[in-house]
Structure 1
Amino acid sequence: MSLFLLKRLGAALLAMWVMSLLVFTGVFAIGNPIDVLINPAADQRIIAETIARYGFDQPLWVQYLRFLNGLLHGDFGRSFVFNEPALALIAQKLPATLELALTAMLIAVVLGLPLGLYAGLRPKDLPAQGIMAASIFGFSLPTFWVGLMLILVFSVELGWLPSGGRGETVVVFGIECSFLTVDGLYHLILPATNLALFKLSLIIRLTRAGIRETMLQDYVKFARAKGVKPARIVVVHALRNILIPIVTVIGLEFGSVVAFAVVTETIFSWPGMGRLIIESIQTLDRPVMVAYLMLVVAMFILINLSVDVLNTLLDPRLRHR
């Protein structure tokens, strides 16, 4: 197990280094932040001093080494716009995005697994066919359109739920949480539902396909012949075998929910990282853009590592691959 972890950790570090190259190259090739930092009408002396202060006059390889040294020390630079450490700005917005993403994935998993199991075990039933038809809509409908329709129906027409914002929050261990208040929960329902629909459809279809294939395997037929109860066959024998691909997909999809919650956060005015990164792109705030991208990369790598470890617990044979 220790050798397996060392291999995965080495691969994770290599991936981080490669991504640091890609992020640096991509971000620093975009626009000229000097146009944002100072007035274009400023004289050449002020422009030259500003360029030298931020190191933009250095060769790209020197700038990259400074950038890499900052990453190793947790220093992503100061925001050009807010004049605050970029990592601190991201950290202020991260709890709101994580809260939204965790709630969306919880909805997708809690509803997706049982619905997918039912659709796979009883594929000819009318409710099962309805579940699969609804999952197609979950895949097909654009997130922004669904969000607007949710606001129109539940906020404008029915007036049941608020259309935007985070609502009332409470501070727990220095972190603002909205799901611990009634008002916060009301504000969380619509954006979390909007963000969960695509993932819910994915888990339903993945679970259905997995359970239908597994129930045809020889060990399931043998368990039936031995007189094992159907519920035990599903939970103990079938479900455990289909959990490996499902856990892998859930892990990766959680990372994508955090990284690409921009549309939902914008529609519902949710004060998370998505809105911050859009503003940073518009103003060429490079330190914030880099901090966001590297945080997302690190999160994906950490999730992949966690999924690998969890899969080895479900199937120990994977440790030797």
Structure 2
Amino acid sequence: MIGFILRRLLQAVLVMLTISFASFVIQGKLGDPVTQMVGQNVTLAERAQLTESLGLNDPLLQQYARYLSDALSGDLGVSYYHKQATLAVIGDRLPATLELSFCALLIVLLTATPLGVFAAIRPRHILSRLIVIVSTLGLSVPIFVVAMFLVYFFAVEWQWLPSFGRGETHLLFGFWSSGLVTKDGLQHLLLPSVSLAFVLAPIFVRLIRAQMLEELDSDYVRYAWSKGIPAHRVYFVHALKNTMLPVITVGGIQVGTLIAYTILTETIFQWPGMGLLFMEAVSRVDAPLISAYLIVVGLIFVLINTLVDLIYLWVNPRVRIPGYGQ
């Protein structure tokens, strides 16, 4: 088990090194940092002096080593537009994105699990067939189409919910600005979280249904039926438990992709999170902020996937067998 954990941690480090190098290269390709810092009204001699002082004439690997050293110490540069440390700017927007992702994932779990289980237990029921059809259509509908329909009906036509912004927030724990504790904040959160959940729910419904059908056709479930075990225990204790093993793996990956999906969702709903911040940074060619965003998002992906691996190790004892899961 220790060897498994060490391999996963080593893989995480290698992935982060790759992401950091890609971010460093991208930052160097997005315009001239000297021009971004001082503008056009400086002499060539002053430009050359500033370029030298910033180490931009050094070999590429030497610049990357300096960049990596600063990143490890928590310094990912200063935003050209915000004139603040990039991590501070991202930290201000991070709570909004995490709350949006958490609520979307909660909606997915509360809807996809019962629907997927029902569609597997009663595969010929008309509702099961409707679930399969709707989930198939859901995989084909782009998130911006879902978002526009939600805005049109719930915000424009019926005027039940706000269409943009984050609403009222309160400061929690002295640093976390949250909209989960206010009515206005929850109202603003509902449409973007449902829009985000609509994209992921069909994946989980189909996965849970397919895996549950496979488990219900397995030998140990037949043996449970032969022993006269009650149906609810067969379905929800024996079959569902093993159904959730691949769901954990896929779910961890999908949780990571939530961060990517929030770019579109936050842009449509003007949700002040990391996704909207990234789009603003791209439009302003704010290279340090773009680079820092990629590293932070990459770190979130790596942490989530590593955590999923450890959870899978805990719930699936076979992973502990030497050579299994390599």
Specify if TM > 0.5.
yes
Matched, 1:55 2:55: yes
Q: Hey, what does 1:88 align to over in structure 2?
A: 88
Cα distance in 2 for partners of 1:240, 1:93 equals: 37
Cα distance in 1 for partners of 2:135, 2:260 equals: 23
- Return the offset for 1:229: 0.9
| Percentage of identical aligned residues | 39
Structure 2 stretches of 5 or more lacking a match? none
The answer to whether the Cα contact below 8 Å between 1:147 and 1:267 also exists between their aligned partners in 2 is yes
Q: Hey, what does 1:256 align to over in structure 2?
A: 257
Cα distance in 1 for partners of 2:45, 2:80 equals: 19
- Return the offset for 1:269: 0.7
Structure 1 range deviating more: 2-11 or 180-189: 2-11
TM-score for the superposition, normalised by structure 1: 0.95
Code of the residue aligned with 1:138 in structure 2: it is G
Q: Hey, what does 2:10 align to over in structure 1?
A: 10
- Return the offset for 1:249: 1.3
Q: Hey, what does 1:151 align to over in structure 2?
A: 151
Matched, 1:241 2:242: yes
SS in structure 1 of the partner of residue 177 of structure 2: strand
The answer to whether the Cα contact below 8 Å between 2:23 and 2:292 also exists between their aligned partners in 1 is no
TM-score for the superposition, normalised by structure 2: 0.94
Matched, 1:305 2:298: no
Q: Hey, what does 1:271 align to over in structure 2?
A: 272
Q: Once superposed, what is the RMSD of the aligned Cα atoms?
A: 1.5
The structure-2 alpha-carbon separation of the partners of 1:28 and 1:319, relative to structure 1 and needing over 3 Å to count, comes to: farther
The answer to whether the Cα contact below 8 Å between 2:166 and 2:179 also exists between their aligned partners in 1 is yes
Cα distance in 1 for partners of 2:293, 2:320 equals: 32
Matched, 1:128 2:128: yes
Code of the residue aligned with 2:296 in structure 1: it is L
Code of the residue aligned with 2:59 in structure 1: it is P
SS in structure 2 of the partner of residue 228 of structure 1: coil
Cα distance in 2 for partners of 1:137, 1:53 equals: 57
Code of the residue aligned with 2:299 in structure 1: it is A
Cα distance in 2 for partners of 1:148, 1:3 equals: 49
Q: Hey, what does 2:141 align to over in structure 1?
A: 141
Structure 1 stretches of 5 or more lacking a match? none
Code of the residue aligned with 2:185 in structure 1: it is G
Structure 1 range deviating more: 41-50 or 3-12: 41-50
The answer to whether the Cα contact below 8 Å between 1:104 and 1:193 also exists between their aligned partners in 2 is yes
Cα distance in 2 for partners of 1:33, 1:244 equals: 48
The answer to whether the Cα contact below 8 Å between 1:32 and 1:284 also exists between their aligned partners in 2 is no
| CA-to-aligned-CA distance 1:194-241 (integer Å, 9 cap, x gap) | 011111111000000001111000110110011011110111111111
Q: Hey, what does 1:202 align to over in structure 2?
A: 203
1:168-179 → structure 2 map (5 Å cutoff): 168-173=168-173, 174-179=175-180
Q: Hey, what does 2:218 align to over in structure 1?
A: 217
| CA-to-aligned-CA distance 1:9-39 (integer Å, 9 cap, x gap) | 1221122122222222233223334443333
Code of the residue aligned with 2:293 in structure 1: it is Y
Q: Hey, what does 1:229 align to over in structure 2?
A: 230
Cα distance in 2 for partners of 1:162, 1:45 equals: 54
